[in-house]
Amino acid sequence: MALSTIGGNGRTTARVDAEIYRQGRDLKGRGFQYLLLSALFLASLFLITLLIQVLTDGWPVLSERFVDFFTGTLRSRSSDDALGIGQGLAGTFWIAIFVIALSFPIGIAAAVYLEEYASENFITSVIDVAIRNLAGVPSVVYGLLGLALFVATRDGNSTLFAGGVTLAILVLPIVVITAAEAIRAVPSSLREGAYGVGATQWDVIRTQILPYAAPGILTGTLLSLARAIGEAAPLILVGAITDRLAPRGDGLLSLDQIFDRFTAMPIVIVGWVQESGRDQGFGPAAGAAIVVLLVFVILMNSIAVTLRNRFEKKRG
Amino acid sequence: MANTTDTGVSVTDETTSDITVEAPTAAAPEAAPASTPVDPADLVFDVSDLSVYYGDFRAVRDVNMTVERNQITALIGPSGCGKSTVLRSFNRMNDLIPTARVTGDLIYRGVDLYDPRVDPVEVRRRIGMVFQKPNPFPKSIYDNVAYGPRIAGQKKGLDEVVESSLRKAALWDEVKDRLGDSAIGLSGGQQQRLSIARAIATQPEVLLMDEPCSALDPIATARIEELMAEIKSEYTILIVTHNMQQAARVSDRTAFFSVELDEHNDRRTGLLVEYTDTAKLFSNPDDERTENYITGRFG
Amino acid sequence: MSDITVPTRSSGTTLSLDALSGPAARARKEGAIKAVFFLAATVSIIVSAAIVWSLVREAWVFITEVEWANTWGQNGWFPRQGLYDMPTLLVASLIVTVISMLVAGPIGLGSAIYLSEYASRRTRSILKPVLEVLAGVPSVVLGFFALFFLSPQIVERISRSGWLIIGAVILTGYVAMMVIWVRRTLQREASTSAAQMFTRIIVLTLFVLVGLVMVWWILRTAGSGDAGAANFFQVKRSGQLAAASIGVGILTIPLVASISEDALASVPRELREASAGLGARKVTTTTQIVLPAAVSGIVAAFIIGVSRVIGETMVVFMAGGAADAARFTDSPFEGGLTMTAGMASLATGTDNVVGEGLTFQSLYFVGFVLFLITLTLNVIGARFVRNVREKY
């Protein structure tokens, strides 16, 4: 018995040693970890391939005729010297203006109402449900709404106004949800402190809530702006022009174009991709337009994400 | 105000029994329910049958007490006894909690604070509040103090208000050279004195302090207690504290709150057990529960 | 108020009610501001109502006036000819959903688990931005990528045998999932009610049925598309449903990853520590403790992912290999129109949505169907998300 006990102990000790020191041989664990890592690797691979593909296609066009490309217009031949994204940039610029002018104030105000004013009642819960569901409605359905509201009822005139308002409506729930999140993060001690010295509700919102929540709100608005700039489906539905659009004589800031036919950066890309079946030169042109669009969108997203991370860190 | 007696166990009955009220008028037979006669002109708060509810749940019931001018009144008791809840109803901070509801009378200088025509904003400008955790706004020291006057519409003479408030809060010497710095950088004790300065800046008549020293070290606590004694001549102060020694040191009168457990729904309701001169409450309390608490038998 | 007048109080200390009433102008201003904020909040209700109204109004016209024989078994979606074969769109949408979730599901979930359970702070700060950038890439860019890279470089290279191999891999994964589920079910306590037994049998049957359908589908479609999908009605373009699906899948990776990561992050640390304290390895803790605890949120991630995939328009429109009209297909290697791509196709071109008869209304009918599907999925998904929140 004694012997076997000793032997047993000896075996146990050896096994414990082995178990403790064999971490490097945990094959199952390692395999699992590499499997997970390969998921991230694939995601990165997709992104890198995509960027390389777009750059190799688009770069020649951009480097050859940089300025011309920015001022040019939609053309029927890809070899046309006047081919460019000028009209797309103008449309996207105005769409951004619509989003900033409509979604931002309405969305932030709605978030303030929901977080600071609303009591728990029927209307509040209806608003809440409406916003949550709107955020999940496919963008193409917003296009149908825009088509019904602004185009179909007005003798089939697709205007920049219709596109801008449609996209403003599309990103509204995103603005509301992100702004509400930022407002919820305001510590209640700030509210109490302000109310405690006799601030009115509006004072508290103006002097405490909005300044404190500003970085979070800004993040949300930047993300939604980036989304609006890259969105194509609703614009297709409200009738943005994909093929040829007569150039306007007036400048970028001319208000007249709001009620005229329009195109936008993503629509230019879609149009040229379609044309590429007929005229292969449109492919690289689309690539070049994508490079421009991506620079804008990724820049905006990065600023937004950096802003969010910085403030999350700062406030622990 | 014809209220007390028939509402059951009320502190007023017990305490009035051993004093003589001098020439009470017929209209207010129990106007002075204190152990020392109160000049009615000095009456700041007159609370009768105050109960606070959160939804259906009654957090505190049947509070009857009066608070006099330029005195420090301490509210003590075990946790959950509703002393903070009562304090917050004195300047209607409870309005910020959607489900909170107050019944009974809370008379401030002759006006029912819960009259529908009363604007809580106006109340809070006259009855300032200092909170448990120092809560400086993420602004400069100057802007923190000037906040109250600014939202009240004051534009001129802010420098003077800021200086005098900081002086009263005994913070001026420490911060006068860096008024533009962020208030977040101050130490905990300094932040709390800044909160007091911020409350003083609106020129309130009453200061409500909700456990103002619970987050502070002993030195900072002593500093605040000193400060309270200094500004007492100008303000009426109500302080909630979980620290009995503090109540004994700083206050003129002390209200002891306790909790009772409702056997049916396992909920705890706070109630005012005894309210009298601080010296008496700590040396010779009338109620057994008070005695048990101050001698450390529960709480 | 009358009962509080104490005659002995000097007037100096007694306030009038007016002193505490505050200026009327301030009350009016506060009320007006609140009203403005409230109006802003009601915009969401108005927009929701407007969406439902615009969809229902035109869809109703379609439902009441269309010849139902033209909406089923017509072998193709040719709206301008008055043929609105719904199975064409629905099956294409189903194919895109299945393939893109096969891409987005594992990659998204795997990324989430790695970021949440394994990644050090530094690794995380490098890898997380990849997903964040990917989340910001507009869908037209993925459409371009799918058409000019995925289609020629990947999909067209998948031969008959290639597709069979991929199918075998997918089926192996599927069977592995089934085995794990069965083992788990058997491991639980033996006392199961008849109702529980019944549900389990149903689930198992569904599992097997879906597997069989997949085997049938893979065998059936292997080798399709080789001859080219050109047909009488459609302009021949490159691009196939499979290329578009992979594109949509890439687009959906960040969404699946972010919802899954939230779910994993909401699993309390104590659970992991308790498991590690019992001597479990990380892989055991992750698969046996963390994943089961977060399963509700992961299911939500998949459901919401599916909803997003079904609603995705531009990638399928650009790279799906069909324009304007499409013949019925159940092969990922042919061109096809999903519900969304069908809608976008109808709205482009010089004549926009003008067409014969009910063309315009068909747009809204398809939109309405899409709206109902995504709404249902989102509501179910939100319920699963709530489950996780309530649990911890």
Strand, helix or coil for residue C267: coil
Host H or E run for residue B67: strand B57-68
Model-level pTM? 0.85
Scanning every residue of chain C, which has its alpha carbon at the shortest distance from the alpha carbon of A106? C40
What is the overall mean pLDDT for chain C? 84
**With pLDDT > 70 as the criterion, what percentage of chain B qualifies?**
86
Q: What's the pLDDT score for residue C6?
A: 37
In a domain, C150, yes or no: yes
Q: Which residues pair with A235 in a beta bridge?
A: none
Q: What's the pLDDT score for residue C74?
A: 76
Residue A24 — pLDDT band, cuts 50, 70, 90?
low
Model confidence over C113-144: pLDDT tens digits? 999 999 888 888 888 888 989 999 999 999 99
Scanning every residue of chain A, which has its alpha carbon at the shortest distance from the alpha carbon of B133? A189
Q: What's the pLDDT score for residue B62?
A: 87
Has residue A9 got a pLDDT over 70? no
In a domain, C4, yes or no: no
* Mutation target among A188, A190, A197, A314 for the B interface, most CBs of B within 10 A: A197
Residue C146 — pLDDT band, cuts 50, 70, 90?
very high
Interface contact B123-C20, CB threshold 8 A: yes
CATH of domain A69-315: 1.10.3720.10
Query: Residue C343: which CATH number?
Result: 1.10.3720.10
Q: Which domains does chain B have, with CATH numbers?
A: 2-294 (3.40.50.300)
Q: What's the pLDDT score for residue B7?
A: 38
Has residue C2 got a pLDDT over 60? no
Which of C95, C326, C102, C132 shows the shortest CA–CA distance to C232?
C326
- Are both C249 and C320 inside the same structural domain? yes
Model confidence over B100-111: pLDDT tens digits? 889 999 989 888
Has residue A153 got a pLDDT over 80? no
Scanning every residue of chain C, which has its alpha carbon at the shortest distance from the alpha carbon of B31? C6
- Are both C111 and C220 inside the same structural domain? no
In a domain, C13, yes or no: no
Interface contact C7-B42, CB threshold 8 A: no
Residue C233 — pLDDT band, cuts 50, 70, 90?
very low
What is the least distance, in Å, from the CA of B106 to any CA of chain C?
Answer: 10
In a domain, C101, yes or no: yes
- Are both C272 and C302 inside the same structural domain? yes
Please compute the mean of the pLDDT values over residues A225-247 and round it to a whole number: 87
What is the overall mean pLDDT for chain B? 83
- Are both C124 and C255 inside the same structural domain? yes
DSSP C321: S
Interface contact A109-C314, CB threshold 8 A: no
Q: What's the pLDDT score for residue A108?
A: 96
Model confidence over A107-135: pLDDT tens digits? 999 999 999 998 888 999 999 999 999 99
Please tell me the total count of domains within chain C: 3
Let me know: does C287 contact C74? Beta carbons within 8 Å.
Answer: no
- Are both C167 and C270 inside the same structural domain? no
Has residue A269 got a pLDDT over 90? yes
Q: What's the pLDDT score for residue C289?
A: 87
- Are both C262 and C116 inside the same structural domain? yes
Model confidence over C183-212: pLDDT tens digits? 877 776 566 677 778 888 888 899 899 889
What backbone phi and psi angles, to 5 degrees, belong to B57? -85, 125
Q: Is A207 on the interface with B (CB under 8 A)?
A: yes
* Mutation target among A33, A128, A141 for the C interface, most CBs of C within 10 A: A141
Model confidence over C266-314: pLDDT tens digits? 888 888 888 888 888 888 888 888 988 898 899 999 999 999 999 999 9
- Are both C131 and C257 inside the same structural domain? yes
Q: What range defines the domain where residue C149 resides?
A: 70-158+238-388
- Are both C137 and C253 inside the same structural domain? yes
Has residue C228 got a pLDDT over 60? no
Interface contact C370-A140, CB threshold 8 A: yes
Q: What's the pLDDT score for residue A131?
A: 94
- Report the 10 Å Cβ neighbour count for B66: 23
Q: What's the pLDDT score for residue B36?
A: 52
In a domain, C15, yes or no: no
Model confidence over C60-89: pLDDT tens digits? 998 888 888 778 877 888 887 788 888 999
In the chain, the amino acid numbered A128 is: D
Interface contact A29-C282, CB threshold 8 A: yes
- Are both C154 and C173 inside the same structural domain? no
Q: Which of A97-111, B14-28, B33-47, C225-239 has the lowest mean pLDDT?
A: B14-28
B111-112 vs C76-78, strand pairing mode: unpaired
Q: Is B206 on the interface with C (CB under 8 A)?
A: no
Chain A neighbors of B118, CB-CB under 8 A: none
Strand ranges inside chain A, DSSP E = none
* Backbone CA torsion sign across C314, C319, C324, C328: negative
Domain boundary among C34, C65, C96: C65
Let me know: does C88 contact C337? Beta carbons within 8 Å.
Answer: yes
Please compute the mean of the pLDDT values over residues B117-140 and round it to a whole number: 91
Has residue B227 got a pLDDT over 80? yes
Please compute the mean of the pLDDT values over residues C239-255 and round it to a whole number: 93
Model confidence over B67-87: pLDDT tens digits? 988 899 999 988 888 889 999
- Are both C313 and C377 inside the same structural domain? yes
In a domain, C79, yes or no: yes
Cα–Cα distances in angstroms (integers) from residue C143 to residues A144, A271, A273, C27, C151, in the given order: 21, 12, 9, 55, 10
What is the least distance, in Å, from the CA of B151 to any CA of chain A?
Answer: 6
Q: What's the pLDDT score for residue B17?
A: 39
Q: Which two tokens stand for residue A290?
A: 């994508």
What is the ipTM score, two decimals? 0.87
What is the least distance, in Å, from the CA of C199 to any CA of chain A?
Answer: 30
- Are both C196 and C341 inside the same structural domain? no
- Are both C60 and C116 inside the same structural domain? no
